[in-house]
Amino acid sequence: MGNPGSSRGVLTMKIIVVGCGKIGCSIVSSLAKEGHDVVAVDTDPAVVEQITNVYDIMGVCGNGVDNDTLSEAGAAKADLLVAVTGSDETNMLSCFFGGKLGARHTIARIRGPEYNDKSLGFIQQQLRLSMAINPDLMAARELYNILKLPSAVKVSTFSNGAFEIIELLLKQDSVLDGVKLSAMREKYKEKFLVCTVQRGDEVFIPSGDFELRGGDRIGLTATPSEIQKLLRDLGWHQKQARNVILLGGSRTAYYLAQMLSIGGNAVKIIEKDPAVCAELSEALPKAVVVEGDGAQQELLLEEGLRTADAFVTLTGMDEENILMAIFATTQNVKKVIAKANREELAAMAGKLGLDTIVSPRRTIADVLVQYVRALQNSLGSSVETLYQLMDGKAEALEFIARADERITNIPLRELRLKPNILVGGIVRDRKSIIPTGADEIFPGDSVIVLAAGHRLGDLADILR
């Protein structure tokens, strides 16, 4: 694939990543693929050696709070410093010192619930953080969106919820098997657009005469209400999961349980560690906290696995999550979601029949790539939101359009777009438009673009 970033002549960013755990590695990997100059900092020499062997980056071994280490990593000239060690306090300090040394932007991972309340704004302001990221909270939001719409395997939202892209898996005997997209659009009256189709390992941005087949994974853009209607017409509508069992009392589980119980749902958390259980039951008075080993099938059945609407595995072990999720599917639980951070395990779990896998690490990498691309061209129509769809083979991006005689005020059918690019939605004055060839983009619109095999940094990049 080479290096599309530099070939386009945009700036390469100097980026320091402090902490090379699971999240750090995935950030390094995405940013190195984007063609940036990445320096990875970690205290463990073995980790640094491993990561420099695999990616074309530089490694510095040392404490990310230490002045010498940060200077050696080039903090003085860095465009961005991302601190994602396991400790919130280290991340904050590292960003603070990095900023003092001259890093232009700093992003810290802050995941402790005690910091993620009102004090977050204070911390961000005092430390001059450009952004604080909380992967657990992001994962919980993603899970919550899926639980609201259980027939989807992934839900991505744009423009504060004005648009959603949901990914659906067509069953072999689906009513849509063998249906052309143009026919589908005539049959169902709702406003929607099939924007991506994954078949086997290939991803298509389909046109009207594309024929769907059972086993395809499709991405739909529409407004949330239209999606509900469409799913009902298709006969796939499932009620929102009202009775959810969470396996593992991780931070993600805490945030998710909080969101679910605010919505009035029944939540049960199964956790091994008594101390964690005590904390959770204190923090979440509405949730049922069960102390016990969730890897025991007996226990799960006793706690009502068969009658649950949804089962979400959130322990720290990918393997345990996947295996227990597979067990739950054999017990006919309607919606089963597994958290898997390691990409290769997530792919294998998909082959084993788990359709919905959530990866916090993927989510956080998306957020960073979006941030960096927005940094790269702060002048043009920069990226507002970015999601990877279809296992990272396609991207959905949201741009705010600026006046540009090549794009704005021209009917879409007259734009000469690159292949495998689609304008999937326009938001104008809070109104969501599913565009047809006659629609135009006006300056100030939020434009949602789908792209397979391109890296877009600016709305103008969609043109040939």
Partner 1 sequence: MNRKMICRTTGNIVLLEAALLALPLAVALAAREWSVAIAFAISIGIALLVGLVLSLMARGADKLIFAREGFVTVALSWVLLSLIGAVPFAVAGCTDGTPISYVDALFETASGLSTTGASVLVPELLSKGLLFWRSFTHWIGGMGVLVLIMAIFPADSGRSIHVMRAEMPGPVVGKLVPRIRDTAKILYLIYIAMTALEIVLLAAGGMPLFDSVLHSFGTAGTGGFGVYSSSIANYSPYIQWVIAVFMLLFGVNFNLYYMILIRRAREAFRSTELWFYLAIVLIASGIIVWNILPTVTSFGEAVRLSVFQVSSYLTTTGYATANANAWPELSRGILFLLMFLGGCAGSTAGGLKLSRVMILWQSVRRSIRQMLHPRSVCAVHHEGKPLDDKTLSGVSAYFALYCLILIILTIALMGLAPAGFDFEMNFSAAVSCFNNIGPAFTHAGDPGAMFAQYGIPEKLLLTAAMLLGRLEIYPLLIAFSPSTWSRKKS
Interaction site with partner 1 (CB under 8 A): 2-3, 14, 32, 37-39, 45, 52-58
**Please, which residues bridge with residue 193 across strands?**
221
Is the Cβ of residue 53 or residue 172 nearer to partner 1 in the bound state?
53
For partner 1, give the closer residue by CB, 71 or 87.
71
**Whether the Cβ atoms of residue 88 and residue 112 lie closer than 8 Å to each other:** yes
Burial (CB < 10 A; 0-12, 13-18, 19+), residue 32, is buried
Lateral strand order in the sheet of 14-18: 58-61, 37-42, 14-18, 80-83, 105-109, 131-133
Q: Check: CB of residue 374 under 8 Å from CB of residue 105.
A: no
CB of 58 or CB of 460, closer to partner 1: 58
CA pair distance 70, 16, nearest whole angstrom: 9
Nearest approach in angstroms of CB 145 to partner 1 is: 34
Check if the beta carbon of residue 463 is closer than 8 Å to that of residue 416.
yes
Nearer to partner 1, 14 or 111 (CB): 14
Report the residue number, 55 or 442, with the smaller CB distance to partner 1.
Answer: 55
Hey, is 374 helix, strand or coil? Answer: helix
DSSP 414-436: GS-BPTTEEEEEEEETTEEE---
Question: Smallest distance from the beta carbon of 60 to partner 1, in angstroms?
Answer: 10
- Judged by beta carbon, residue 3 or residue 331, the one nearer partner 1 is 3
Q: How far is the CB of 54 from partner 1 (least distance, A)?
A: 6
Shortest distance, CB of residue 52 to partner 1, whole angstroms? 7
Reading the block at residue 60, the tokens are 């510095």
Report in angstroms how near the CB of residue 254 gets to partner 1 at its nearest.
36
For the chain, helix (H) and strand (E) counts, in that order, are 15, 22
Q: How far is the CB of 77 from partner 1 (least distance, A)?
A: 9
